[in-house]
Structure 1
Amino acid sequence: MKKSSLLLAVLPLAVLAGCQHIPSSTLYIEKQGSFTVGGRYITHKGTFSAENFISPEGQRAYGDFAYVNYQIPVNAKPYPLIFQHGGAQSKRTWESTVDGREGFNNLFLRKGYSVYLLDQPRSGESNLSTEALDPATPWASNPMYGDKTFYILSRIGHYDQQGNPVPNAQFPVGESYYQAFQQSWSVGSGPLDNDLNADVLAQLVNQTEGAVLVTHSMGGTIGWRAAIRSDKVKAIVAYEPGGTPFIFPETEMPTITKARFEHLSATAMGVPMNDFLKLTQIPIVLYYGDYIQLGSENVGEDKWGTEFAMAKQFVDAINRHGGDATLVHLPIMGIHGNSHFLMGEKNNQQLADLMEKWLKEKGLDK
Structure 2
Amino acid sequence: MMSKSIRTTLAIILAAGSAASGARAAQVDADRPLIISKQGSFFVGGHDVQSDALSTIPNFASSGTISVDQVYVRYQTPVRPARYSITLIHGCCLSGKSWETTPDGRMGWDEYFLRQNFTVYVIDQAWRGRSAANPAAVNAVKAGKAGADTLPAFISAGHESAWTIFRFGPEYPKVFPGMQFPLEAQGEFWKQMVPDWGYSMKPPVPTVPALSELAQKVGNTVLISHSQSGIYPFQTAMISSKGIAAIISLEPGACPAADYDMSALKNIPVLVLFGDFVDKSEAWTNRFKGCQEFVRSAKAAGVTAELVSLPDVGFHGNSHMIMQDRNSLAVAGWLGEWLSHHVRQPSSRQ
Q: TM-score, normalised by structure 1?
A: 0.76
Aligned to 1:180: 188
Residue aligned with 1:206, SS: helix
- For residues 348 and 364 of structure 1, the distance between their equivalents in structure 2, rounded to whole angstroms, comes to 25
Aligned to 1:198: 208
Identity %: 29
- For residues 233 and 66 of structure 1, the distance between their equivalents in structure 2, rounded to whole angstroms, comes to 18
Deviation per residue, 1:274-328 (Å, 9 max, x gap): xx311243100011000011xx4xxxx2211011000101101111101100101
Residues 197-346 of structure 1 aligned to structure 2 (within 5 Å): 197-230=207-240, 231-242=242-253, 245-248=254-257, 253=258, 270-271=259-260, 273=261, 276-293=262-279, 296=280, 301-346=281-326
Aligned to 2:128: 123
Deviation at 1:123, TM superposition (A): 0.7
Single out whichever of 184-193 and 333-342 deviates more from structure 2. Answer: 184-193
Deviation at 1:132, TM superposition (A): 3.1
Which protein is richer in helix relative to its size?
Answer: 2
CA contact (8 A) 1:280 1:318 kept: no
Residue aligned with 2:137, SS: coil
Deviation at 1:234, TM superposition (A): 1.2
CA contact (8 A) 1:235 1:284 kept: yes
Partner residue of 1:158 out of 148, 163, 170: 170
Partner residue of 1:83 out of 84, 88, 93: 88
Deviation per residue, 1:57-115 (Å, 9 max, x gap): 3x112211001110001100121111111111110111111110001001100110000
Aligned to 2:153: 137
Aligned to 2:332: 352
CA contact (8 A) 2:157 2:193 kept: no
Question: 2:170 is matched by which residue type in structure 1?
Answer: H
Partner residue of 1:146 out of 158, 169, 174: 158
Residue aligned with 1:88, SS: coil
- For residues 28 and 189 of structure 1, the distance between their equivalents in structure 2, rounded to whole angstroms, comes to 37
Residue aligned with 1:218, SS: helix
Q: CA RMSD in A?
A: 2.5
- For residues 116 and 291 of structure 1, the distance between their equivalents in structure 2, rounded to whole angstroms, comes to 30
Question: 1:222 is matched by which residue type in structure 2?
Answer: Y
Deviation per residue, 1:157-211 (Å, 9 max, x gap): 2347xx555574311132xx11112111111356244412210111111111221
- For residues 157 and 342 of structure 2, the distance between their equivalents in structure 1, rounded to whole angstroms, comes to 43
Residue aligned with 1:287, SS: strand
- For residues 84 and 145 of structure 1, the distance between their equivalents in structure 2, rounded to whole angstroms, comes to 18
Q: TM-score, normalised by structure 2?
A: 0.79
Question: 1:347 is matched by which residue type in structure 2?
Answer: N
CA contact (8 A) 1:80 1:210 kept: yes
Count of paired positions: 300
Residue aligned with 1:25, SS: coil
Q: Which runs of 5+ in 2 are unaligned?
A: 1-28, 139-149
Aligned to 2:78: 73
